[in-house]
Structure formats: C-alpha cells, structure tokens
Amino acid sequence: MRVFMLSKALVVGAYQRKLEAIAACPEVDLTVAVPPDWRDARGVISLERAYLRGYQLVVTPIRFNGHFHWHYYPQLGRVMLAARPDLVHVDEEPYNLATWHALRWARRAGARVVVFSWQNLLRRYPWPFAAFERQVLREARALMAGNQDAAGVWRAKGYAGPIPVIPQFGVDPELFSPRPAPGRRLPGFVIGFAGRLVPEKGVDLLLRAAARLPAPALEQLQVRLIGAGPERGRLLALAEALGLGGRVRAESVASLHMPAQLQALDCLVLPSRGRSNWKEQFGRVLIEAMACGVPVVGSTCGELPNVIGPAGLVFPENDVAALADHLGALWQDPGLRADLAARGRARVLAHYTQQQVARATVAVWRSVAEAPAQVSRQAARPADTL
C-alpha cells in the first residue's frame, strides 16, 4: 500500500517518530510531504529532521504560510503523482483549501483519501470553505478525529463514513521517560507550563494561582513558561505585579529538548479557557509530561479531562482558587505527586504511545484500501454547512 501523507504538523521533529513506526509496517510504502516551515502565534517553526528512517520525506513550498484556511502547496500535484499513491492522508481540516486541493490531486492519482480533523466546534463557514467542506465530506473514505467532540461535529454535518477517534500523535515512552534515579529535578517546587503564550491558554490563571500559595511554598517556588507567543511580555509584567517576578522564567525550547525540560518539573499545568471559536482539542503536552512521570493539572476545557482521566487533577475553567488548591496539595504531599506520576506514566503506556497511534492509523488505512470501490463517496446531508 503506497501512502502519501501531507502534514504541516510534521515539521516538528519529535512528531516524526510516528512516521518511523508507520514505516516499520511491511505493507506500507510511505511518502510524507511537509513545508520548509510553518508560521503561527509562536513565530516561525522551521523543519526539524529528526526521525527519518524507512520513509521518504519531501519538502515542498507552501503558499499563504500562516493562514490556516487559505494555505496550500503549489507543487503538490507533481510530488504526489511522483509517489503514485494508493491512498492520500491529509492532516488538515475538511474546510481548508489545502485539503480540497489535495483531494483534487488524489482523484487524478486514482487514490483514496483519508482526512484528519481536530475541529471540535460545530461551526458555519462562508463560501468557498463551505464548498470545500461539502466536497471533502462526499469523497473522503474516512475522517480520523483527534477527539470525541470532533467525531460528533462531523456526524452532525452529515458525514456517513468511518470516524475513528485517534490522537494525531502519541509520545515515544523511551524519549519521554522519568528522570532516572538518583537524578534530581530543579531545587524548590517547580511548576511548569508548555505551549503557546496566548490568552486562551490561561497562563495568567496559573500565575494568579501560584501567587496564592502559602509563604513557605512561595519561598521554594519556580514557574517555568516553556513557549512563545504575543502574551509573553504581558505575562512577565503580571508576574512582577503579583510579586513573582524573580520566580518566573519564560523561554522557547526546541521540541527535541522537551523531555529534559519536563523532567525538571514537579508538576505541569494546562489552565486553558474556552473561547467562542476555540476549546482545547487534546493538550499534547499533558501526555508528554505524564510519560515523564510528572503530575499534571488541567482545566475542564475541551478534551483535557478525557486526556487526563484518573491520572491527574482537574479544575473548573477560570477557577483560580481551585487551581491554587491543587497546587497547594501537590506542594504539601510528595506521596500524591508520586502516585499521580505513576498513574500518568501507566496511562500513557496504555493509550498514548507513538506505536499505538501508528498501529491504529495503519489499521484505518488498511480498511479504506480494502473497502469496495462503490462506496468511495459518502453522503452528506444539506445540513453539512452548519
């Protein structure tokens, strides 16, 4: 089975481990197309070449870089047809130009199409995005959803084909692993956040909650903000105003250095808050921290409680007092930290490794490749533009 995958997410080197796991399946001949870089709120994310065994990585130019709905790959037809795929996998939303463009070239190549979606809000799109979406829903052989809400969205929009719920990426449990004894974390009580520094990630809530810790905890406190984004300056100013200025540090870290950064934490917090046009779709940093044996705390935003399950602490969105209570409990109780660390690691090994995600993805591809040709188009009801 010759598979052509298109994914801007795979500029991140750590994510490429999934590709090696997929390529290890003897039935799969894998070609992956990525842009040279991608631009978002964090800035320019340049392609990292980290895990490249067993498959072909093709770098192809991107147009309208940074525009989630409008970007596309002007040379995609040439690179896709050269791969002669049986199946094309598109890591883009069904309403995006890049997905519709890839669908047209896949049709010319005679390949079946699978689309991956994170979209967990039922939204209406204007032309031409509604038209892109209708055609993708008619022709995609399967929609892989990154969370349960996304599966519900596409059913509500009339998609009748398979919608398996599979995370886009897992973690490598050997790379993301607990720091071996007698290794020590940083001195003191170290709280971490990793992700985009934007309002919806709720980092201001974390700072306000940390400032409520009792004086003995504040004397030991360090807060590490790992990431970049437009809120960086405002957050550091807030830390100063709360009396935490010397205890808060913000820095960007390459994806391949994340395991060591996470291992240095006593807990990781993802305090996201929903918006009318956004809620958490997964919270990948949670499973990375859990794999490293780091206790996690997350809000009730979107998919976060489902990812954490019984392996961490959850607090209501925007509830600073509840988050402060969780942080205080973790500071006071090393036994609780150890218990959550063990449960988190076990949950990742049971559900979220790259090998498990790779096997589930290949199983979807296999089912699509083996399905009868006459069911290649799925019906979409008129409500599919809601």
Residue 106 has pLDDT above 90, yes or no: yes
For 137-191, what is each residue's pLDDT tens digit? 999 999 999 999 999 999 999 999 999 999 999 999 999 999 875 555 556 899 9
Task: Please give the pLDDT value at position 143.
Answer: 98
Percent of the chain at pLDDT exceeding 70: 95
For 235-270, what is each residue's pLDDT tens digit? 999 999 999 989 999 999 887 789 999 999 999 999
Task: Please give the pLDDT value at position 255.
Answer: 78
Task: Please give the pLDDT value at position 381.
Answer: 39
Are 340 and 312 in contact by the 8 Å Cβ rule? The answer is: yes
Task: Please give the pLDDT value at position 376.
Answer: 40
CATH 3.40.50.2000 domain position(s) in the chain? 2-170+354-385, 189-351
Nearest alpha carbon to residue 34 among 23, 13, 43: 13
What long-range pairs does 107-112 form, CB within 8 A, spacing at least 24?
107/139, 108/77, 108/81, 109/4, 109/80, 109/81, 109/84, 109/85, 111/4, 111/85, 111/86, 111/87, 112/86, 112/87, 112/88, 112/141, 112/368, 112/369, 112/376
Residue 386 has pLDDT above 50, yes or no: no
For 68-86, what is each residue's pLDDT tens digit? 999 999 999 999 999 999 9
Residue 384 has pLDDT above 60, yes or no: no
According to DSSP, the β-strands at 37-40 and 43-46 are antiparallel
The average confidence (pLDDT) of the chain is 93
Architecture of the 2-170+354-385 domain: 3-Layer(aba) Sandwich (3.40)
For 313-341, what is each residue's pLDDT tens digit? 999 999 999 999 999 999 999 999 999 99
Q: Report the side by side order of strands in the sheet with 313-315.
A: 248-251, 221-226, 189-194, 267-270, 296-299, 313-315
CATH number for the domain whose boundaries are 189-351: 3.40.50.2000
Least confident of 33-42, 153-162, 216-225: 33-42
Task: Please give the pLDDT value at position 43.
Answer: 81
Amino acid in position 159: Y
Please state the rounded mean pLDDT for residues 2-23: 95
